[in-house]
Structure 1
């Protein structure tokens, strides 16, 4: 992995939380949740060993190849449905078991489902959406680990158009969203014309 794209601020884990303090939301950011050397190894492992797939999505009546690769893992056999896609979970790997234990402990939640996204370059993206599918329940807790290329994470309030926020998700960072966040805010990872390298993120959810 090319370390030039990574945040080299610390070789050690810094789990000091940063509350974004946004209205109608509870969003906490841990900039260096996974130490840099370990994060590099995790990126390489996930990139090589994950059975990535690229599904078609339907947007305004037209079908497109989803602009990123995905894979679903879970501790149960509950599928995950979004954008007319239904994903069936794989069994957790040792790497994912280890990460789940650490995220569960920090977020005080027993997550059941891990959705992996691989953004291969700046053309890969995730449009405006909220993680508010009915199987996630009311006020779902969503955690997201980021590895690889830093990418901007955009947020906008559903009704107050003046409320917007942009956060650079660092290599090895953890983002926690809970409370009313998914009902009151939308988020995205936009495309960029910059020549950038790959990013993998893992989003943790509870599907009962």
Structure 2
């Protein structure tokens, strides 16, 4: 039997106008890159573009990638403040993902890196095309729960989610428009 999924979806967290403006600004101002990760000794390009933003001195490492923060631009600082107030949690970093269309995806994983702490809270803001966000019970790997993340929605993954569930964003070949996903997290720079 699985642990209850401790996640909350807030539709319309941003108005359509706010979400449109943020999508346009982030698309044009962040330094998007396609990183590569090493799996089983082979290098593979990540099937999406990424950008890491964090407070100065905060770094993040996963899948043999190391990223360093240099401070939040004003636009991300103000949205971070609003999300912190809603999630009742502090964040010092955001991993930004740009899914160019439905061919871009994210495989099954949990955000369980040591620097995130034992029971991390992650707040995920979606902008652009709606995409399915799937959770799968880590123990049985059979029970799944899907959320449709729409433009301006906020998904808060509370304590325990990363411990008991993994998540993914599957390909959706009919999706032709881009989607930006901002995943706010608290990183302990001493770990």
Range into which the TM-score falls when normalised by the shorter chain = over 0.9
Aligned to 2:181: 201
**Displacement after TM superposition at 1:147 (Å):** 0.2
Superposition pairs for residues 150-169 of structure 1, below 5 Å?
150-169=130-149
Q: Which runs of 5+ in 1 are unaligned?
A: 1-21
Matches within 5 A, 1:176-191: 176-191=156-171
Residue of structure 2 aligned with 1:48, choices 20, 28, 40: 28
For residues 86 and 141 of structure 2, what CA distance do their matches in structure 1 show? Answer: 32
Gaps of at least 5 residues in structure 2 are none
Deviation at 1:76, TM superposition (A): 3.3
Q: Which residue matches 1:12?
A: none
Q: Which runs of 4+ in 1 moved over 6 A?
A: none
Mapping 1:10-89, distance limit 5 Å: 23-89=3-69
Secondary structure of the 1:193 match is coil
1:150-202 residue CA offsets vs partner (Å, 9 max, x unmatched): 00001100112341111110100000011211011000001122142100010
Q: Are the structure 2 counterparts of residues 127 and 162 from structure 1 closer, same or farther at C-alpha, using a change threshold of 3 Å?
A: closer
- Structure 2 Cα separation of the partners of residues 41 and 32 of structure 1: 14
Correspondent of 2:125 among 145, 150, 166: 145
Give the distance between the partners of 2:175 and 2:160, measured in 1 at CA.
Answer: 35
TM norm structure 1: 0.86
Q: Does 1:118 align with 2:109?
A: no
Question: Which of 78, 96, 105 is 2:76 aligned to?
Answer: 96
C-alpha contact (below 8 Å) 2:129/2:175 kept by paired residues: no
- Following superposition, the deviation at residue 110 of structure 1 comes to 1.4
Taking structure 2 as the reference length, the TM-score comes to 0.94
**Number of positions where the alignment pairs a residue of Structure 1 with one of Structure 2:** 187
Structure number with higher relative contact order (C-alpha < 8 Å, ≥ 6 residues apart): 2
* Mapped partners of 1:188, 1:195: distance in 2: 16
Q: Shift of the alpha carbon at 1:100?
A: 0.5
Distance in 2 between residues matched to 1:138 and 1:75, nearest whole Å: 21
Instruction: State how far apart, in whole Å, the 2-side matches of 1:104 and 1:196 are.
Output: 31
Q: CA deviation at 1:83?
A: 0.8
Moved more, 131-140 or 67-76: 67-76
